[in-house]
Amino acid sequence: MKLIKRLWRLVWKTAMWFLIISVGLTVVYRFVPVPITPLMVIRVFEQAFDSEKEVRLYKDWVPMSEISKNAPQAVYAAEDQKFMAHDGFDIEAMQKAWENNKKGKRVKGASTITQQTVKNVFLWPSRSYVRKGFEAYFTVLVELIWPKERIMEVYLNVIEMGDGIYGIEAASQAYFNKPASKLNRNQAAAIAAVLPNPRRWSPAKPTSYIIGRQGWILRQMNNLAPLEMGI
């Protein structure tokens, strides 16, 4: 009995500390720039142990007021067109992905911008059910504590946009030699077009597939109502 009680106390204390730390960190990141993410650390270690690669970590946090309105509009069109309406989860997309998975079809990503932000800021790359559980928890937490503008701001500043390139400012400087505030529609759409695999594709050297995807994103940007992000 004593062993069971000790285990229960350990589980209870661990759960309480996790709750306190996770909520506290989410509140802090509501106001403070995210200094580094687990994915950034993992990539640095991968590069450090690969003799054929140099260690690269380019990032430069900028507030939403210093990001061209074309950037959030482009990722909104490309990644999550229900961003302003959902509470962190696109249930319809999740159902379609589940059905396609059961049929053995190629699974199209159903992650919202909120979920992608959570994965980058708080979690590690994995497809396990444990990671998915934590993702769901943090997604609910972030949607409760952060406004949509903050979610988009963090997303644009931490998302991987190339090999060792993180965030819209670093991507804009690397690919177009200009600050994120000066990105035009075509450039923003080009960056958004490579997000499914930013280490494989480059906005500066687009393949025919990326050019086609860029064109589709531009059409979606025209069709969707402009995002009101306090820019």
Q: What is the pTM of this model?
A: 0.91
* Sign of CA pseudo-dihedral 213, 214, 219, 224: positive
pLDDT tens-digit map of 35-71:
999 999 999 999 988 877 888 899 999 999 999 999 9
Q: How far apart are CA 174 and CA 196, in angstroms?
A: 18
Tokens of 92: 């319809």
**From the centroid of its chain, how far is CA 145?**
17
The residue-averaged pLDDT of 164-191 equals 98
- Asked whether the predicted pLDDT for residue 162 surpasses 90, the reply is yes
Q: How far apart are CA 98 and CA 189, in angstroms?
A: 28
- Asked whether the predicted pLDDT for residue 106 surpasses 70, the reply is no
Per-domain boundaries in the chain = 33-223
Q: How far apart are CA 12 and CA 14, in angstroms?
A: 5
The residue-averaged pLDDT of 14-34 equals 96
Conformational region of residue 104, where left means phi above 0, alpha means psi within -120 to 50, and beta covers everything else:
left
CATH number of the structural domain 33-223: 1.10.3810.10
Place of tokens 């940007």: 221
In this structure, what are the phi and psi dihedrals at residue 39, rounded to the nearest 5 degrees?
-65, -40
pLDDT of residue 199: 93
Q: How far apart are CA 121 and CA 111, in angstroms?
A: 15
pLDDT tens-digit map of 183-228:
999 999 999 999 999 999 999 999 999 999 999 999 999 999 998 7
Q: How far apart are CA 128 and CA 115, in angstroms?
A: 15
